[in-house]
């Protein structure tokens, strides 16, 4: 096999390893060897279908073992994996396909008709392995000579809106992904004895590049749930040694009577991230289980940046220390000069985890990625006297709901285009389940009317459902500061 930096690091030498990698409740177990074999078949299929090294393979499919194999196959074929949230509408996906120009697009069978006539070759894959992809792969051999890929070669593109609200493809190299996962295996003490309860989606950094890559590297196994389902979580937790989740996972578990110390007696590590966890959740969790949740901080462009320590104090309200090899700089958002410890400013990050830039957007890249290598995160924070990093707010206009990032600008653009709407402002309001929920303040033209139901009916074909406003307030005018900028903090305070 040729050297393929990411694949070799994740699964090199595991071609004949018969230990179980994936346990699918009510489904099959998959060994390491079986997953490597399936990824080989799929990599042969990608090549046979004309996918060349560097080509993008866009994927919008339900979580499944086959989808993990497709990720690995794409890496092995030297192509670029581009996963998409299954909730995205046709209109949203169309933008990504036009921007990324993938050679292949894999989607669910029942949505294939929506993508008739697109440039890319379309294959289908369903949550149960059905669709056109797997029968085609079965005709292929599992042996595959990996395409050579160097550490700096592109491995994946994940769309995110960065600090500005315009969707951009974050380009992640083989080494961005591998170096970060290797660091985390070590920092969080993962070994082949670990059994991770995996309930996150696999179209984002957290579920794919953190949870999955870590387990592949350490040689452990995963209990692989299609989604977060409370009953299934309660059933499987006694078999798990570790869980990674967004704060909503933990608040939902805590609210269930069955969730107690005994249920998680076997678990050694609970990790939370992707959204801020309330201090009271940390406290309640520790009271209920005796475990202090380990909170860490990451983002699409950088994978993981900081983490609370495995041993030593996991400080509530903090996201811990910069990971080994990662530098954090707190700067004045106006001037960019470095601030002293204890002062609040923009969090900037540099290290092998920091992405290559935004796909085909050098000018946007230059705005957020400094020439000296520091990435301007859009998060505000400070470093305390013990070196712990605290996130204290966001400069970027972003709502984080259940760990999904929602960019107000996209929703405002769609609302503003509706008949009778003069202007709108979308903002986050506190939500006990999701952390934040989307709210919309709308100013109507004289005589026009709009209610929540009409608003959401109009937005449904355009926006993924998790982006639909859960609260609508009609205003005569939007609150603005002296510069004319809409004051979302005022909206949040008034209607939150």
CA distance from start to end of the chain: 56
Contact between 307 and ligand AMP by CB under 6 A: the answer reads: no
Binding mask 235-274 for ligand AMP (x = CB under 6 A): --------------------------------------xx
Contact residue for ligand MLC among 200, 294, 389, 455 (CB under 6 A): 200
Site stretch for ligand MLC (CB under 6 A), options 148-156, 329-337, 362-370, 399-407: 399-407
Pair type for strands 29-31 and 20-23: antiparallel
By beta carbon distance, the residue nearest ligand MLC is: 402
Report the site for ligand AMP in 188-207 (rule: CB under 6 A). 205
Contact between 466 and ligand MLC by CB under 6 A: the answer reads: yes
Sign of CA dihedral 337, 341, 343, 348: positive
Q: How many residues bind ligand AMP (CB under 6 A)?
A: 18
Closest CB 377 distance from ligand AMP, rounded Å:
5
Contact between 354 and ligand AMP by CB under 6 A: the answer reads: no
Contact residue for ligand MLC among 64, 180, 212, 274 (CB under 6 A): 274
Binding mask 92-131 for ligand MLC (x = CB under 6 A): ----------------------------------------
CA distance 156 to 154: 6
Contact between 300 and ligand AMP by CB under 6 A: the answer reads: yes
Of 147, 154, 151, nearest to 5 (Cα)?
151
Sign of CA dihedral 38, 43, 49, 51: positive
Contact between 183 and ligand MLC by CB under 6 A: the answer reads: no
Contact between 31 and ligand AMP by CB under 6 A: the answer reads: no
Contact residue for ligand AMP among 172, 202, 319, 438 (CB under 6 A): 319
CA distance 371 to 364: 13
Closest CB 191 distance from ligand AMP, rounded Å:
24
**Structure token pair of residue 492:** 């949040």
**Structure token pair of residue 159:** 């769309």
Contact residue for ligand MLC among 41, 149, 174, 206 (CB under 6 A): 206
CA distance 324 to 326: 6
246 binds, among ligand MLC, ligand AMP, none (CB under 5 to 8 A by kind): ligand MLC
Task: Read off the DSSP letter of residue 293.
Answer: P
For residue 312, CA distances in Å to 175, 349, 365, 474 come to 29, 24, 37, 50
Contact between 160 and ligand AMP by CB under 6 A: the answer reads: yes
CA distance 348 to 338: 10
**Structure token pair of residue 361:** 């957007």
Site stretch for ligand MLC (CB under 6 A), options 23-31, 292-300, 306-314, 420-428: 292-300
> Which of 34/348 has CB closer to ligand AMP?
348
Give the up-direction half-sphere exposure of residue 317: CA atoms within 13 A in the CB hemisphere. 6
Q: What angle do CA 273, 276, 282 make, to 5 degrees?
A: 85
Residue whose entry in the numeric block shows the structure tokens 């009609």: 474
- In this structure, are residues 407 and 161 in contact, taking their beta carbons and an 8 Å threshold? yes
**Structure token pair of residue 21:** 């990698």
> Which of 38/244 has CB closer to ligand MLC?
244
DSSP symbols for 21-63: EEE-TTS-EEEHHHHHHHHHHHHHHHHHTTPPTT-EEEEE---
**SS3 (DSSP) at 7:** helix
Give the up-direction half-sphere exposure of residue 461: CA atoms within 13 A in the CB hemisphere. 4
Closest CB 381 distance from ligand MLC, rounded Å:
14
Report the site for ligand AMP in 401-430 (rule: CB under 6 A). 405
379 binds, among ligand MLC, ligand AMP, none (CB under 5 to 8 A by kind): ligand AMP
> Which of 384/416 has CB closer to ligand AMP?
384
Q: How many CB atoms lie within 10 A of CB 244?
A: 26
Contact between 276 and ligand MLC by CB under 6 A: the answer reads: no
Site stretch for ligand AMP (CB under 6 A), options 54-62, 172-180, 293-301, 439-447: 293-301
Contact residue for ligand MLC among 402, 408, 428, 469 (CB under 6 A): 402
Closest CB 28 distance from ligand MLC, rounded Å:
23
Of 174, 210, 206, nearest to 81 (Cα)?
174
> Which of 19/465 has CB closer to ligand MLC?
465
φ, ψ of residue 416 to 5 degrees: the values are -60, -25
Contact between 299 and ligand AMP by CB under 6 A: the answer reads: yes
- In this structure, are residues 195 and 325 in contact, taking their beta carbons and an 8 Å threshold? no
Contact residue for ligand AMP among 219, 245, 276, 469 (CB under 6 A): 276
Which ranges in 58-120 belong to alpha helices (H)? Answer: 65-76, 90-100
**Structure token pair of residue 13:** 């030498």
**Structure token pair of residue 377:** 């995160």
> Which of 232/448 has CB closer to ligand MLC?
232
- In this structure, are residues 330 and 303 in contact, taking their beta carbons and an 8 Å threshold? no
Contact between 381 and ligand MLC by CB under 6 A: the answer reads: no
207 binds, among ligand MLC, ligand AMP, none (CB under 5 to 8 A by kind): ligand MLC
> Which of 31/167 has CB closer to ligand MLC?
167
Query: What does the binding site for ligand MLC look like in residue numbers (CB under 6 A)?
Result: 200-201, 204-207, 227-228, 246, 248, 273-274, 298-300, 401-404, 434, 465-466
Query: What does the binding site for ligand AMP look like in residue numbers (CB under 6 A)?
Result: 160, 205, 273-276, 295, 297-300, 319, 377, 379, 391, 394, 400, 405
């Amino acid at each position: 096999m040729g050297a393929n930096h990411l694949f070799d690091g994740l699964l090199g030498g595991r071609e004949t390893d018969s230990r179980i990698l994936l346990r699918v409740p009510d489904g099959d177990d998959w060994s390491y060897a079986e997953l490597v074999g399936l990824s080989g078949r799929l990599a042969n299929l990608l090549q046979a279908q004309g996918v060349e090294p560097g080509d993008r393979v866009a994927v919008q499919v339900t979580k499944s073992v086959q989808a993990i194999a497709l990720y690995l196959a794409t890496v092995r074929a030297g192509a670029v994996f581009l996963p998409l949230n299954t909730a995205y509408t046709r209109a949203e996906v169309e933008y990504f396909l036009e921007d990324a120009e993938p050679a292949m697009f894999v989607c669910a069978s029942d949505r294939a008709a929506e993508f008739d006539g697109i440039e890319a070759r379309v294959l289908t894959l369903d949550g149960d392995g059905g669709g056109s992809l797997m029968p085609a792969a079965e005709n292929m051999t599992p042996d595959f000579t990996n395409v050579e890929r160097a550490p700096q070669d592109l491995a994946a593109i994940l769309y995110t809106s960065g600090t500005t609200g315009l969707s951009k493809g974050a380009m992640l190299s083989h080494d961005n992904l591998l170096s970060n996962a290797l660091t985390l295996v070590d920092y969080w003490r993962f070994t082949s004895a670990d059994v991770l309860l995996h309930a996150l989606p696999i179209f984002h950094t957290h579920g794919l590049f953190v949870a999955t890559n870590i387990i592949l590297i350490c040689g452990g196994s995963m209990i692989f749930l299609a989604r977060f389902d409370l009953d299934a979580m309660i059933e499987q937790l006694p078999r798990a040694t570790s869980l990674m989740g967004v704060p909503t996972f933990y608040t939902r578990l805590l609210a269930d009577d069955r969730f107690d110390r005994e249920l998680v007696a076997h678990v050694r590590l609970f990790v939370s991230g992707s959204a801020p966890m309330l201090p009271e959740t940390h406290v309640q969790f520790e009271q209920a289980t005796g475990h202090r949740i380990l909170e860490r901080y990451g983002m699409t462009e950088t994978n993981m940046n900081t983490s609370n320590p495995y041993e030593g104090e996991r400080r509530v309200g903090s996201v811990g220390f910069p990971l080994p090899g990662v530098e954090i700089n707190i700067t004045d958002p106006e001037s960019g000069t470095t601030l002293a410890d204890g002062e609040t400013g923009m969090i900037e990050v540099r290290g092998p985890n920091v992405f290559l830039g935004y796909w085909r957007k050098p000018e946007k890249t230059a705005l957020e990625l400094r020439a000296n290598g520091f990435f301007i995160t859009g998060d505000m924070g400070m470093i305390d006297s013990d070196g712990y990093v605290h996130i204290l707010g966001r400069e970027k206009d972003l709502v984080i709901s259940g760990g999904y990032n929602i960019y107000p600008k996209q929703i405002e653009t769609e609302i503003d285009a509706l008949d009778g709407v003069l202007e709108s402002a979308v903002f986050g309001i506190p939500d006990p389940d999701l952390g934040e929920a989307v709210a919309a303040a709308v100013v109507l033209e004289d005589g026009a009317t709009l209610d929540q139901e009409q608003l959401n009916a109009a937005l449904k074909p355009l926006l993924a459902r998790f982006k639909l406003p859960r609260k609508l307030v009609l205003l005569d005018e939007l609150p603005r500061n002296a510069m004319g900028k809409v004051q979302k903090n005022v909206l949040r305070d008034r209607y939150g």
